[in-house]
Amino acid sequence: MKLNMRFRLKKGVYAFTFLFAILALILSILTLSRFYPHSSLFTTTISEDQTQDATKIIDNILDKIITELKNMGKDEEKHTAFLTEILFQLGSLRISVLNIKSQKESLSVSGSGSRSAHPLSRSGESYNEAMEFFLIEEIRKYVKLKPNRLGKQNFMGANGTFTSIGHACFSMKEELEEYMDYDVGDFCKDDWKVAQKLMVHGCDPLPRRRCFARSPKLYTKPSPINESIWKLPEDHNVRWSHYRCKSFACLARNATGKGFFKCSDCFNLTHHEKPRWMQVVYFDPSTNSTPDFLIEDVLKIKPGEIRIGLDFSAGTGTFAARLREFNVSIVTATINLGAPFSEMIALRGLLPLYLTINQRLPFFDNTLDIIHSTRFLDGWIDFILLDFVLYDWDRVLRPGGLLWIDSFFCAKDDLEDYLEAFRMLRYKKHKWVVVPKLDKDGSEVFFSAVLEKPPRPF
Ligand SMILES: *[C@@H]1O[C@H](CO)[C@@H](O)[C@H](O)[C@H]1NC(C)=O
Ligand SMILES: *[C@@H]1O[C@H](CO)[C@@H](O)[C@H](O)[C@H]1NC(C)=O
Ligand SMILES: *[C@@H]1O[C@H](CO)[C@@H](O)[C@H](O)[C@H]1NC(C)=O
Ligand SMILES: *[C@@H]1O[C@H](CO)[C@@H](O)[C@H](O)[C@H]1NC(C)=O
Ligand SMILES: *[C@@H]1O[C@H](CO)[C@@H](O)[C@H](O)[C@H]1NC(C)=O
């Protein structure tokens, strides 16, 4: 009897160890599933079948324990209580597993849209990959294909709406999920910088959000246009969070070095910005040449023809400000790198276009009269990317439109390759100069050109 009991006890110990191992395993899977309920990791860890297997295993264990309990005498109360506890835990585990199963089922039902293919897809592949990838409900709602009501075609000839996000959003899952984690109808977090980081790294377009962007604490009406263009704006019309400077005066004070290095002077409207494109600012006496063309001279190439255009530069909108005086409307593409460029341009009464280099320009083919670019592509840009950018600029320029490459700089050794990229356009050369750049021991050069897009009839 004693021997028998000892043997049973020993058996019990084995059983406990075994049970604990299984418990630990199941618990860890469950914990994992709580945190990543729809992650691919989890779905590969436990498939539908495996969920069934798991419940089966638990059922088996339950049966065994119940048998064991029946076999054990009443004098083993301590162990009995312990076993009962485990029994209880396993029971709730079983319920959890079943819960997950039904959750998964309801997910694939609510995601029945997720099975739907894009109407123009030839392969019939699921359109809603993005929806299955992200966990935050708002992203899923955003990217899900939205059929028109009553299955109607809309005036654009589509029977649904296909909101999209940049494919690099998938590589920045955590950041995007954090960005999209808000309460609908509430204030958004003060996270414009996260948004910009996502965009710059290719999560572009970003999903829209259904929360209210914060405004500055005390927004007062902007200055009238006859004053705003050449005046530093009111500081309180900008949210300064996430900037090192907290005022425009700070940005304009060159010595602080707190602004954006590529634009260390461009908030100093009175001294630095005023003369640009109205007089020569950079002059190389050794070659008796300058990369600075004057607006007046460029517009003279096409008198009265230049009316609308794009400035793709790092700056505060001064090019647009000057061209406005010549009755030319310029949109200034910018992002807020180290300073509130968008707000600055807008508060000056000019039109900022919040746009990264990743995006196809939001203009139709053959529409703009002029594209100007300075301090933007200089020297760092990949040749293939430059090609895509230039073809895109070419696309939106109208025949006879002007491309003004302004003080593009690069290493001397790269110059020929870059020039080749510009030559590829086969534009008429109105101006074309290469000027040594003095500050880098002559190892760098400036390149400026004004080029005219030829007509391309077919
Ligand atoms: C949209 O139209 C296509 C055919 O034009 C059809 O195959 C598809 O099911 C329609 N989608 C919806 C959501 O109505
Ligand atoms: C700007 O225009 C307003 C009226 O539109 C005028 O009252 C004001 O004096 C002008 N300011 C300047 C600096 O010309
Ligand atoms: C702009 O630069 C000039 C010359 O460097 C300086 O005297 C002036 O104070 C600057 N303006 C501002 C607003 O800091
Ligand atoms: C502003 O600073 C930059 C470098 O930080 C310098 O090259 C430039 O000359 C300075 N401009 C003025 C007006 O002091
Ligand atoms: C711009 O347009 C205004 C009003 O039409 C006109 O008075 C002015 O002379 C124009 N300026 C230039 C530089 O053409």
Atom number of ligand 4 nearest to Cα 254: 1
pLDDT at 88: 61
Ligand 3, atom 7: closest residue by C-alpha: 271
In angstroms, the CA 69 to CA 85 distance is: 12
In angstroms, the CA 229 to CA 318 distance is: 8
Residues 377-434 have pLDDT tens digits of 887 889 999 999 999 999 999 999 999 999 999 999 999 999 999 999 999 999 999 9
| Same-domain status, 138 and 194 | yes
Give the amino acid at 441: D
Give the amino acid at 292: D
Alpha helices in 274-340 (DSSP H): 295-300, 318-325
Q: pTM higher than 0.85 for the full model?
A: no
Residue 260 within any structural domain of the chain: no
pLDDT at 32: 46
Domain interval for residue 99 = 2-107
| Same-domain status, 294 and 438 | yes
Half-sphere exposure of 193 (CA within 13 A, CB side): 11
Ligand 3, atom 5: closest residue by C-alpha: 271
Give the amino acid at 395: R
pLDDT at 20: 60
Q: Is the pLDDT of residue 58 over 70?
A: no
pLDDT-derived band at 37 (thresholds 50, 70, 90) equals: very low
Ligand 3, atom 13: closest residue by C-alpha: 252
Across 280-290, average pLDDT: 92
pLDDT-derived band at 115 (thresholds 50, 70, 90) equals: low
> What tokens does 444 get?
């760098």
Task: Please state the domain count of the chain.
Answer: 3
| Same-domain status, 92 and 173 | no
Residue 257 within any structural domain of the chain: no
% of the chain beyond a pLDDT of 90: 57
Judged by average pLDDT, the poorest of 10-24, 123-137, 299-313 is 10-24
Question: How many CB atoms neighbour CB 349 within 10 A?
Answer: 20
| Same-domain status, 152 and 297 | no
pLDDT at 457: 85
- Asked if residue 311 lies in contact with residue 373, where contact means CB atoms within 8 angstroms, the answer is yes
Report how far ligand 1's centroid is from the alpha carbon of 205 (Å): 25
Domain end (from 107, 138, 167): 107
Ligand nearest to the CA of 113: 1
Ligand 4, atom 12: closest residue by C-alpha: 254
| Same-domain status, 89 and 166 | no
% of the chain beyond a pLDDT of 70: 73
Helix (H) or strand (E) run with residue 194 in it: helix 192-200
Residue 302 within any structural domain of the chain: yes
DSSP three-state, residue 221: coil
In angstroms, the CA 149 to CA 154 distance is: 9
Q: Any idea what DSSP says for residue 185?
A: T
DSSP string over 54-96: HHHHHHHHHHHHHHHHHHS-GGGHHHHHHHHHHHHHHHHHHHH
| Same-domain status, 448 and 357 | yes
Q: Is the pLDDT of residue 366 over 50?
A: yes
Q: Is the pLDDT of residue 41 over 50?
A: no
> What tokens does 300 get?
């003279």
Q: For residue 280, give Cα distances in angstroms to 274, 283, 289, 295.
A: 12, 7, 10, 11
| Same-domain status, 286 and 191 | no
CATH of the domain at 353: 3.40.50.150
Judged by average pLDDT, the poorest of 96-100, 137-141, 229-233, 446-450 is 96-100
Residue 10 within any structural domain of the chain: yes
Ligand 4, atom 7: closest residue by C-alpha: 264
Domain end (from 200, 219, 251): 200
Q: Is the pLDDT of residue 45 over 70?
A: no
Q: Would strands 397-411 and 368-374 be described as parallel, antiparallel, or unpaired? A: parallel
Q: Which residues line ligand 5 (CB under 6 A)?
A: 326-327
Ligand 3, atom 14: closest residue by C-alpha: 253
Q: Which of 129, 67, 118, 58 is nearest to 90 (CA)?
A: 58
Q: CA angle, 145 as apex, 144 and 149 as ends, to 5°? A: 120
Cα dihedral 265, 266, 270, 276 in deg (nearest 10): 100
| Same-domain status, 355 and 276 | yes
Q: Is the pLDDT of residue 62 over 90?
A: no
Judged by average pLDDT, the poorest of 68-77, 132-141, 281-290 is 68-77
Long-range CB pairs of 63-66 (<8 Å, 24+ gap) are 64/15, 65/15, 65/19, 65/90
Ligand 5, atom 4: closest residue by C-alpha: 327
Across 288-298, average pLDDT: 96
| CB of 226 sitting under 6 A from ligand 2 | yes
| CB of 151 sitting under 6 A from ligand 1 | yes
In angstroms, the CA 273 to CA 257 distance is: 17
In angstroms, the CA 436 to CA 291 distance is: 9
Average pLDDT across the chain, whole number = 83
In angstroms, the CA 365 to CA 357 distance is: 18
> What tokens does 252 get?
């304009």
- Asked if residue 168 lies in contact with residue 204, where contact means CB atoms within 8 angstroms, the answer is yes
pLDDT at 354: 97
Ligand 3, atom 2: closest residue by C-alpha: 271
Report how far ligand 1's centroid is from the alpha carbon of 120 (Å): 8
Burial pattern 47-78, b for ≥16 Cβ within 10 A else e, equals eeeebeebbebbeebbeebeebeeebeeebee
Residue 372 within any structural domain of the chain: yes
Q: Is the pLDDT of residue 21 over 90?
A: no
Q: Is the pLDDT of residue 107 over 60?
A: no
Residues 240-259 have pLDDT tens digits of 999 999 999 999 886 666 66
| Same-domain status, 97 and 145 | no
The alpha carbon of 403 is separated from its chain's Cα centroid by a whole number of angstroms, namely: 28
- Asked if residue 233 lies in contact with residue 344, where contact means CB atoms within 8 angstroms, the answer is yes
pLDDT at 146: 87
| CB of 227 sitting under 6 A from ligand 2 | yes
| Same-domain status, 316 and 408 | yes
Q: Is the pLDDT of residue 22 over 90?
A: no
Q: Any idea what DSSP says for residue 182?
A: S
Q: Which residues line ligand 4 (CB under 6 A)?
A: 254, 264-265, 271-272
Instruction: Check residues 188 and 45 and name the one with the higher pLDDT.
Output: 188
Burial pattern 248-278, b for ≥16 Cβ within 10 A else e, equals bebbbeeeeeebbeebbebbbbeebbeebbe
Domain end (from 163, 183, 200): 200
Q: Would strands 397-411 and 146-147 be described as parallel, antiparallel, or unpaired? A: unpaired
Residue 432 within any structural domain of the chain: yes
Across 171-185, average pLDDT: 95
Report how far ligand 1's centroid is from the alpha carbon of 127 (Å): 12
Residue 216 within any structural domain of the chain: no
| Same-domain status, 87 and 17 | yes
Atom number of ligand 5 nearest to Cα 325: 13
| Same-domain status, 393 and 310 | yes
Report how far ligand 5's centroid is from the alpha carbon of 326 (Å): 7
Residue 228 within any structural domain of the chain: no
Instruction: Check residues 218 and 14 and name the one with the higher pLDDT.
Output: 218
